Amino acid sequence: MHTGETRWVADFHAGGRDVLEKCYRDHYRGVVLTIARFLSGADAETVAHEVFYRLLSNPKLRENFQGGNFDAWLSQVASNSARDYLRRYRREKPELSDSAPSESDPHGAAEEVDAKMTIERFKRECLPAEMTGLFDARFLRQLTQRQAAEELGMPRSTLVYQEERIRTLLRSFVLQESS
């Protein structure tokens, strides 16, 4: 290693702001392209951000790079992260929904109608119009966050934030209904 590269590696290990910022700017696209071999859409974006978050926050990860071809090292980190993400995804179990009320059960049918009317009232009175699509995707059709983010064309982090906002609105609405 020559002196300039040695200095860069030392600054990288130390978590130097300028080095890490340049690393992100110079290598983000390559990381996304590497991850895209395994994942697409919101998942690829999520993993790419996780890779750079880990570089920012984990000195031990940065210390694993000892010089040489930084692109190859970072590509390996990105590939491993994508594989880990896929393993976690495969272990996820979809939530089982309660069985629908039987049509021969008049109370179940009446409760279902009441529930639908309550949902429509919540959407009309409390839910901001720009969140209707997310509400339908996640709460009514029960898509996973991954599926909903891809369908709605939004980053998963934005979806999570808006979903929490909807939950807060819904909680307030239900509490008002019960009082």
Residue 13 lies in a domain: yes
pLDDT of residue 13 exceeding 50, the answer is yes
Residue 116 lies in a domain: yes
Local confidence band at 102 (pLDDT 50, 70, 90 cut-offs) = very low
Question: Are the beta carbons of 35 and 66 closer than 8 angstroms?
Answer: no
Number of domains in the chain: 2
Q: What is the CATH number of the domain that holds 49?
A: 1.10.1740.10
Last residue of a domain, one of 91, 124, 149: 91
Nearest to 80 by CA among 34, 45, 43: 34
Q: Which domain holds residue 167?
A: 106-178
**Residue 165 pLDDT:** 92
Residue 131 lies in a domain: yes
Do 62 and 122 lie in one domain? The reply is no
**Residue 92 pLDDT:** 63
Side chain identity, residue 151:
E
Last residue of a domain, one of 91, 120, 151: 91
Average pLDDT over residues 148-169: 91
Residue 63 lies in a domain: yes
Residue 7 lies in a domain: yes
With a pLDDT cut of 90, the percent of the chain lying above it is 51
Question: Are the beta carbons of 169 and 163 closer than 8 angstroms?
Answer: no
Residue 96 lies in a domain: no
Residue 164 lies in a domain: yes
pLDDT of residue 99 exceeding 50, the answer is no
**Calpha distance 99→178 (Å, rounded):** 24
76 vs 94, higher pLDDT: 76
Do 12 and 55 lie in one domain? The reply is yes
Side chain identity, residue 23:
C
Torsion-angle region of residue 143: left (phi > 0), alpha (psi -120 to 50) or beta? beta
Longest dimension (CA), the chain: 81
**Residue 96 pLDDT:** 46
Do 84 and 135 lie in one domain? The reply is no
Q: What is the CATH number of the domain that holds 150?
A: 1.10.10
* Direct distance between the N- and C-terminal alpha carbons of the chain, in angstroms, rounded to an integer: 71
Residue 111 lies in a domain: yes
Q: Mean pLDDT of all residues in the chain?
A: 85
pLDDT of residue 98 exceeding 60, the answer is no
